A = this chain, B = another copy of it.
Amino acid sequence: MALKTTGAQAVSLVEVGPRDGLQNEKTPIATAHKVELCQRLLAAGIARLEAAAFVSPKWVPQMADGADVLAGLKSQRGASVSLSALVPNLKGMESAIEAGVQEVVVFTAASEAFTQKNINCSIADSIERFKPVIELARQHHIHVRGSISCALGCPYEGDVPVNRAADVARRLADVGVQEFDVADTIGVGTAGQTRAVFEAVAKAVPVDRIAGHFHDTYGQALANILAALQVGVRTFHSSVAGLGGCPYAKGATGNVATEDVVYMLQGMGYDTGIDLNALVDAGEWVSTTVLGRPYASRAGRALWTRRQG
């Protein structure tokens, strides 16, 4: 897959709404709606889209139709689009290959307590288990991202040492992971800490292989993205309309809204390749028409309201 490299001022966004965003929705969402959401996002200029998770449907029922969602996106594919899926194991990896993704995501954490509770093993064991998955990905020329959860704080451990994400990134690089998704899973981090953690990770792996994944639970996501930008990070995850939340943080707002991120980046002169108006249409549509709730992106809502006159 081609990482976006359209110049020094380019910032690449990985849209995670259809996967990380929708996976926590209690009410089943029609496959056709998921496909339409992805189509609208791709049409708005999203170049990297996390569309599915090949996990047990017993574990995450909302993601059971991942193969169908990806099949529905066949006509949208091209050299400029990279579709990804979360894969917990070899079985998931095989499904992802069959579905024709360009990227997969393996996941661990910067917190031992979190990996134990979330995937029932140690960080070291989780990385050990990635090896055959990564080997299979390599054979199929599929880009491998490694998600490092709880890099800025853990719901079980609390504070996480500043070098922990860097240590994990180094170990992930050793087993062949190509991109490092450093995640503030519960949204507790602030800008100074973000700077320190990402500086440490950037010493462990190349900065152009780091992605920042921030949640807006405490309202800190954009400030943290700004701090990471200042470290040199140029790839961020975001979720249209701020879809999603962390099941471990009750009442929490979820992923940072793509609209808010694009508004900031465009204002700062970065090229995201995204049509903000088309993105707002997608965000308003999925919020009100598909999910029947208020449109929660601040920039999205302000732009939508302004457009209504």
Within 8 A of B (CB), among A264-305: 264, 266-269, 297-299, 301-305
- Taking a contact as CB atoms under 8 Å apart, the answer to whether B251 and A219 are in contact is no
**A302 CA to B222 CA in the complex, in Å?**
17
**A304 CA to B187 CA in the complex, in Å?**
15
Q: Please, what's the 1-or-0 string for A180-203, where 1 marks a CB less than 8 Å from any CB in chain B?
A: 000000010111110000000000
Closest chain-B Cβ to A199's Cβ sits at a distance in Å of: 15
> In this assembly, does A223 line the interface, its C-beta being within 8 Å of a C-beta of chain B?
yes
Query: Knowing A222-B222, A226-B227 touch, does A190 contact B264 (C-beta < 8 A)?
Result: yes
- Taking a contact as CB atoms under 8 Å apart, the answer to whether A298 and B219 are in contact is yes
Closest chain-B Cβ to A252's Cβ sits at a distance in Å of: 6
- Residue of B218, B263, B302 touching A263 (CB-CB under 8 A): B218
Query: Knowing A263-B220, A264-B220 touch, does A191 contact B226 (C-beta < 8 A)?
Result: yes
> In this assembly, does A257 line the interface, its C-beta being within 8 Å of a C-beta of chain B?
yes
This protein's copies in its complex: 2
**A305 CA to B190 CA in the complex, in Å?**
19
- Taking a contact as CB atoms under 8 Å apart, the answer to whether B223 and A225 are in contact is yes
Using C-beta atoms within 8 Å of the partner chain, give the interface range for chain A. Answer: 35 or more
**A227 CA to B223 CA in the complex, in Å?**
9
> In this assembly, does A74 line the interface, its C-beta being within 8 Å of a C-beta of chain B?
no
- Taking a contact as CB atoms under 8 Å apart, the answer to whether A193 and B267 are in contact is yes
Closest chain-B Cβ to A48's Cβ sits at a distance in Å of: 22
**A270 CA to B131 CA in the complex, in Å?**
44
- Taking a contact as CB atoms under 8 Å apart, the answer to whether B187 and A250 are in contact is no
> In this assembly, does A253 line the interface, its C-beta being within 8 Å of a C-beta of chain B?
yes
Contacts of A217 in B (CB 8 A): 298, 302
> In this assembly, does A103 line the interface, its C-beta being within 8 Å of a C-beta of chain B?
no
Closest chain-B Cβ to A63's Cβ sits at a distance in Å of: 26
Instruction: Report, nearest first, the 7 A-B pairs whose CB atoms are least far apart.
Output: A190-B267, A219-B298, A251-B305, A219-B260, A222-B223, A192-B268, A218-B299
In the complex, given contacts A193-B268, A251-B301, what are 7 additional A-B residue pairs having Cβ atoms less than 8 angstroms apart? A219-B264, A220-B299, A222-B222, A223-B223, A250-B305, A250-B306, A252-B302
